Amino acid sequence: MAKASLPDGTRKSVYARSRAEVVRKLTAVQRLAAQGLPVTDERMTVAALMDEWLTSRIGVLRQTTVETYGHHLALARPTLGRLRVARLQPRDLERVYSTLRANGSAPMTVRHVHAVLHAMLEHAAEQGRVHRNVASLVSPPSGGHREMATLTADEARRLLRAASDDPLEALYVLALTTGMRRGELLALQWRDVDLNGGVLQVTGNLVREDGHLKVGPPKTARSRHTVKLGTLPVDALRRHREASKGEGFVFVTEVGTPLQPSNMLRRSFTPLLERAGLPHMRFHDLRHTAATLQLSMGTHPKVVADLLGHASVTVTLDTYSHAVKGIAEQAAADMDALLRA
């Protein structure tokens, strides 16, 4: 071991097995310092960087987001954890991705792992912890988006008929007519609903943090938006209002507390699909169904983007290209019919 004095007055320790290697490393450290480039900690492992970065995100990001990042880093940790950050190479990340695919991980999962590693290393580069973000030198793993499941109009009507005597009928009506996310629906409060005006405000997102339910901000800034309601959801909400408990949350338990998201899925949504004779699907697929049905009816994509709270119409067009394609084909047929008349 040897130490080098840096221009800022600090001292940098270097470690090596031979004197020649120590001299080489000291020379490299002094050269980087003289050029104003960051001097990295050669002993830091990728696992240590993962832990440090995740800790730094607490309080900056929602806890659920931090937990998701932790889950994806955990998938990379067995392959990368013991490696030195200073020696990390693009091929190391490529080995992570190939290992995950070989073990059966979906392409989108691998892409998420890449994105989180990229964010972590970018943060380290900005802080001078590494010389470069090696994830920028690796092409993201190929693979499309997870194929979404959507209901046809007939299937959506079957679902609502099966929910007609369900205590959460209004929740499913809103999900299929507005495309609101599960967390947004469960965070909805009566003060956000104007039944006479036929509108509601999406203002929050119900999440679980530290074992407790709390209302956090919506997923994005654009997610906080106003939703125009048709007569179907207004009527369902009126019926629900008459049977509701309290003045707070719209959808509550029998004792008036907010619904647990997991309990709602297990005790209500899954049995509802079975009663309606529909295949298993995610609750989020009701949002996809709402968007797809709207676009299939010819609703302008900008209107659908506003309904869903998307940041731009481009997001809507990219996400629901399958439905937009159908609109384009119908438009071409309509133009043919018009000009042939």
Model confidence, pTM? 0.61
- Rounded-to-integer distance, Cα 2 and Cα 14, Å: 6
Q: Give me the pLDDT at residue 37, please.
A: 45
- Measured between alpha carbons, how far is 189 from 152 in angstroms, rounded to an integer? 30
Measured torsion, CA atoms of residues 244, 245, 246, 248, in degrees rounded to the nearest 10:
-60
| pLDDT for position 90 | 93
Strands 11-14 and 2-5: antiparallel
Domain boundaries, the chain: 2-34, 46-137, 153-330
Provide the residue-wise pLDDT of the chain in tens; the chain has 341 residues: 445 454 455 555 544 456 665 555 556 555 555 555 444 556 789 999 999 999 988 888 877 788 889 989 999 999 999 999 988 999 999 999 988 888 877 787 888 899 999 999 998 888 777 778 999 998 876 655 556 788 999 999 999 999 999 999 999 999 999 999 999 999 999 999 999 999 999 999 887 766 678 888 877 777 788 999 999 999 999 999 998 867 899 999 888 888 988 889 999 999 999 999 999 999 999 999 999 999 888 888 889 888 888 877 877 877 787 766 666 666 677 677 777 75
Query: What's the Rg (C-alpha) of the chain?
Result: 26
Whether CATH 1.10.150.130 fits 46-137: yes
Domain 153-330 class in CATH: mainly alpha
Pairing of the two strands 193-194 and 199-202:
antiparallel
pLDDT for the residue 30:
57
Which residue in 171, 200, 193, 194 sits closest to 183, CA to CA? 171
State residue 108's pLDDT score: 79
